[in-house]
A and B are shown apart, each in its own frame.
Chain A
């Protein structure tokens, strides 16, 4: 069973950086594509970025392209999101999600989320 646990959220000033982590304890990490999805307080869901199982292929939403980098370390069963040049509008709960590589349905699994607050 996939169990995803995010960490790394917190308060950061505008223009600052933060790195989120997502660890899978279900021993299926390397066979899963992974993604980050965020939810602004009181609002809906916004897909942020995705990465293939090998890490060779990545996708980004236009709103974060050039500022965020998704990566993974399969030896550590860990997904990362490096967030630079943070803006107030990046304030959100960030969820990691995964799905078996090759599945077109996506986002079978979700973590519990970590809150990022961008404020001075």
Chain B
């Protein structure tokens, strides 16, 4: 099983400031097609998860451009350039190419 490890597990950010979440996988996430696959999900309080980023750095439809993903191999990062109040919640990384699919533990983002 691929283990996904996130850090930090909790983040307190001032409105308008940047935030960064790290995710490390225990195996490389490169598929046979040559691409690397890593998702980021946001879960706001009381809501279902919503995918923000797929294939490391591609934003899903409707996701603000203040969210960006980067990384390669086994190390990945989600950055929020200017945190807004609506960004409060949990963020999860997930590897989608090895069965079983596995998620990171989640990072709680709150406003300072």
Indicate if the CB atoms of A59 and B96 lie closer than 8 Å. Answer: no
Indicate if the CB atoms of B100 and A61 lie closer than 8 Å. Answer: yes
Q: Majority SS of interface residues in chain B?
A: loop
Contacts of B99 in A (CB 8 A): 50, 59
A44 touches which one: B37, B50, B55, B92 (CB < 8 A)? B92
Contacts of A104 in B (CB 8 A): 31, 33, 35, 37, 55, 96-97
B15 at the interface (CB under 8 A from A): no
- The stretch from A13-21, A80-88, A108-116 touching chain B is A108-116
B18 at the interface (CB under 8 A from A): no
Contacts of B35 in A (CB 8 A): 104
C-alpha spacing A38/B105, complex, angstroms: 13
Indicate if the CB atoms of B92 and A107 lie closer than 8 Å. Answer: no
A11 at the interface (CB under 8 A from B): no
Indicate if the CB atoms of B100 and A110 lie closer than 8 Å. Answer: no
A107 touches which one: B94, B100, B104, B106 (CB < 8 A)? B94
Q: Can you name the residue of chain B whose Cβ is closest to the Cβ of A59?
A: B99
Contacts of A44 in B (CB 8 A): 90, 92, 103-106
- Which of A44, A95, A113 has the largest number of chain B CB atoms within 10 A? A44
* Chain B interface residue count, Cβ-Cβ cutoff 8 angstroms: 26
* Chain A interface residue count, Cβ-Cβ cutoff 8 angstroms: 21
C-alpha spacing A50/B98, complex, angstroms: 12
Question: Interface digits, B1-43 against A, CB 8 Å rule (1 contact, 0 not)?
Answer: 0000000000000000000000000000001010101010100
- Which of A60, A62, A106, A108 has the largest number of chain B CB atoms within 10 A? A106
The 25 sampled A-B contact pairs (Cβ below 8 Å) are: A37-B49, A44-B90, A44-B92, A44-B106, A45-B49, A45-B92, A45-B103, A46-B103, A47-B103, A50-B99, A59-B99, A61-B100, A104-B37, A104-B55, A105-B54, A105-B55, A106-B96, A107-B49, A107-B51, A107-B96, A107-B101, A108-B54, A110-B49, A110-B50, A110-B51
**Chain B residues with a Cβ under 8 A of chain A:** 31, 33, 35, 37, 39, 41, 48-51, 54-55, 60, 90, 92, 94, 96-97, 99-106
